[in-house]
Structures are given as structure tokens and as C-alpha cells.
Amino acid sequence: MSFSFRLVTEPRALGPRAGVITTPHGTIETPVFMPVGTQATVKAMSPVELEEVGAQIILANTYHLYLRPGHELIARAGGLHRFMSWNRPILTDSGGFQVYSLGDIREITEDGVRFRSHIDGSYHVFTPERVIEIENALGADIAMCFDECVAYPSDRSYVERSVRRTTRWAKRCKAAHGRKDQALFGIVQGGVYPDLRKQSALDLAELDFPGYGIGGLSVGEPKSVMYDVLEETVSLLPVDKPRYLMGVGSVDAILEGISRGIDMFDCVLATRIARHGSVMTSTGRIIVRDARFAEDFGPLDPECDCYVCRNFTRAYIRHLLKAGEILGYRLTTYHNLYYLIKLVRGARDAILSNRFFEYKQEILMRTAKRSDS
């Protein structure tokens, strides 16, 4: 089955909505949170556990997989799904964000980006055509256009030139993209400049992509700025196509995104903080490594019904983390993903029963005290 999207709520330019994405590897109910499997594995999780926590789709990183083990190897393995034994949908990013993160060790031209591998320092070039070739080889259900993510803050003049180039690159990506069983999403850029965001959104909408990423947010700008930019941007995107807010994964930002009509989210936050002992709960984040949990024989989150909360105590998980035991990282990761996926699933249910804003307010109120960014 090829790619499609349908809304199950009334089509509106803005505001929370629920939908269903269909892909060759099954359907995705939106809004959806996508765990990040950078190197063809969501850190510390097995595919079976990803299903248990309710992951409908995961993300993988083109940049990382291109460098190691190499996209040709993955193609010879039968594609990314078979390589990592994950039979549900996958989305690959384009490497634009990773290349941006490399900072000094990359050089951007009209043709593309020359960069050095963070693994061995070797030189590589990503052009729009090359990235599409790599994403085609990986074979995800959804591929992203190669874009330039600009830092915050950036000069308006730079962002203006960059966003135009990103549109030209999007055209080249579309022209190079051949796989019928893979949907190619455009990526809206434009920094924090509303008019540039508007231009980017309109230009990309004209290219008629089956879905749209919103990139370059959550890169250091104040949250209020992000929400304003988001609102401007979303209202200019086609209402009947999925909208994906890239790299955003804190509880409050996800809820604010859903409020503004975002359908898809991804972020390493939940899994990364988990490995540092930070746990998302229904009353906000706790640092389970803290000494005050040494003899706390309750679950990570008393309101959670996941495998971890049904079987293990804060005291035990703290012990594992202090001792550097792999199971500690596994348990906090499992719980955080379960929590976040359930939160977004709950948002969908709330949208469908017309009580999303109550749902959002209640969660924000309960988690606010201890929750950061």
C-alpha cells in the first residue's frame, strides 16, 4: 500500500486534529510521537519492546547510517526494516540537522555540504541527489528532503539566502526521488523570521509534497518564539497533509505543537534523559539517581501501568544506574517512551472527544513544577 493521509477531524487551518497516515508498513494514528533510532536502534530498546510501548513509527538518521554501517550494506540486507527487524513504518531524516550540528567541520555551497565524519574525520559530500540516493537505499516509508538548518540566532540576510537554497534543494530532492513506496516530505525553514517562514511554506506547498517537516526550531530560541513561528508556519501549510515538527519532544512543547495542528513529533530527549536517570512522570520529571530515592520502594510513576512500573522500584532502578548497569538504562528508557507515547495517544483521544484543551491544561498543570524545557 502506498502513502496517504486522511484527517478524522474537521479540516481547519489551525488547531488540534487527528488523522491516519497509511504507509507500506502499516498505518499511523496521529498525532504521533516517533522514538529516534539514530543508528538503526532506539538506544537500549529491542523492537519487541518498541511495540510494547506503543511505538507506531520510528525515526532513523541518514547521516549516521550512511557513515556506519553504510547505506549500501543496509540495502543489501534488504533495507532498513529488515536490517533492524522492525516491521512497522520508519522515517529517515536527511542529515541536514546532523550536518548543521557538525559546526566547524562542514562547508555549505549551492551544490551541497562537504563535511568530516565525526567517527574518523574522513571527508564526505552530501548533495540533495546524494541524500535521496541514500534514503532510497535505506528504504524508509517516509524520507525527508535535504535542508539546511540554521543556528539561532542567525542574521536575517543569511537565513534568507539559506531558506531559498533549501527550497532549491527541495526541488532537486523531488526530481531525484524515484521510489514509489516511499513518501518524500519537504522541510520548512526560515529561522525565527515570520516572513521567511511564510515564503518557505508557500514555496514548498507549491511543490506539492505528501507531507511537511518544520525544521530549525527548538535550536535555542525562546519557547514563546518557537510557538509563534509555529503558528505562522502551520497556517500556511496544506490542511490535508501531515505536519511534522522536527526534533521537538518535551511534554509542554508537544502539547503546544498539537494545539497548533502538528501531527508528528520526534526527539531524542525522552531516551537521552532516561540514560542520565531522568524520568518523566505524571507529576513531572524526577531524577531517579538522586539520593532521596535510595529507599523509595514505589514505582517510577505511581500512575503508570508499564512493565517497568509494574515490576521495579525507584530504589532498584537507582541502584542499577549508580552501578552503571545496562538494565538501568533499559528501564528508564522503556518507561519514558511508554509515558510519552501514551501522553500523545491520550491527546489524540482527547481531540476525538473534544476535550483536548482540558487534557492539555491538566497535564501542563500537573507536570509544570518539575518539568523543564
Kindly list the residues in this chain that would bind a copy of itself in the complex (CB under 8 A).
39-41, 43-48, 68-69, 73, 76-78, 83-85, 294-295, 297, 307, 311-313, 315-316, 318-320, 322-323, 325-327, 329-331
- Phi and psi (nearest 5°) for 286? -125, 150
d(CA 297, CA 240): 48
C-beta of 102 vs 327, nearer to a copy of itself: 327
Cβ-based burial of 349 (10 A; exposed 0-12, middle 13-18, buried ≥19): middle
Closer residue to a copy of itself in complex, CB, 86/185: 86
Question: Could you tell me the smallest distance in angstroms from the CB atom of residue 291 to a copy of itself?
Answer: 11
From the number of C-beta atoms within 10 Å of its C-beta (0-12, 13-18, 19+), residue 324 rates as exposed
DSSP 292: G
Using CA atoms, how far residue 93 sits from 58, 184, 296, 357, in Å, is: 11, 10, 40, 31
User: Quick check: is 266 catalytic?
Assistant: yes
How far, in Å, CA of 372 to CA of 337, rounded? 17
Q: Which residue type is seen at 167?
A: T
Backbone angles phi, psi at 225, to 5 degrees: -65, -45
> What is the smallest separation between the CB atom of 32 and a copy of itself, expressed in angstroms?
23
Residues 6+ apart with CB under 8 A from 347: 16, 31, 254, 255, 258, 356, 359, 360
Q: In whole angstroms, what is the distance from residue 161 CA to residue 155 CA? A: 10
The region, left, alpha or beta by phi > 0 then psi within -120 to 50, assigned to residue 103 is left
Cβ nearer to a copy of itself, comparing 16 with 299: 299
Cβ nearer to a copy of itself, comparing 153 with 298: 298
For a copy of itself, the closer CB: 85 or 101: 85
Q: How many Cα atoms are found within 13 Å in the side-chain-facing hemisphere of 359?
A: 22
Q: In the complex, what is the shortest distance from the CB of residue 207 to a copy of itself, in angstroms, rounded to a whole number?
A: 35
Nearer to a copy of itself, 107 or 325 (CB): 325
Q: Which one of 181, 266, 296, 301 is the catalytic residue?
A: 266
Q: How far apart are CA 78 and CA 138, in angstroms?
A: 9
d(CA 184, CA 289): 42
Closest distance of CB 118 from a copy of itself, Å: 12
Contact (Cβ atoms closer than 8 angstroms) between residue 254 and residue 225: no
Q: How far is the CB of 46 from a copy of itself (least distance, A)?
A: 6
Residue 306 CB, nearest distance to a copy of itself (Å)?
A: 13
Residue 130 in grid coordinates: 546524494
CA distance 42 to 274: 12
- Closer residue to a copy of itself (CB): 322 or 355: 322
Active-site residue identified among 93, 141, 203, 263:
93
Pick 310 or 369: Cβ nearer a copy of itself: 310
CB of 75 to a copy of itself, least distance (A): 11
Q: Are 19 and 7 in contact (CB under 8 A)?
A: yes
Q: How far is the CB of 273 from a copy of itself (least distance, A)?
A: 16
Q: Which amino acids are annotated catalytic?
A: 93, 266
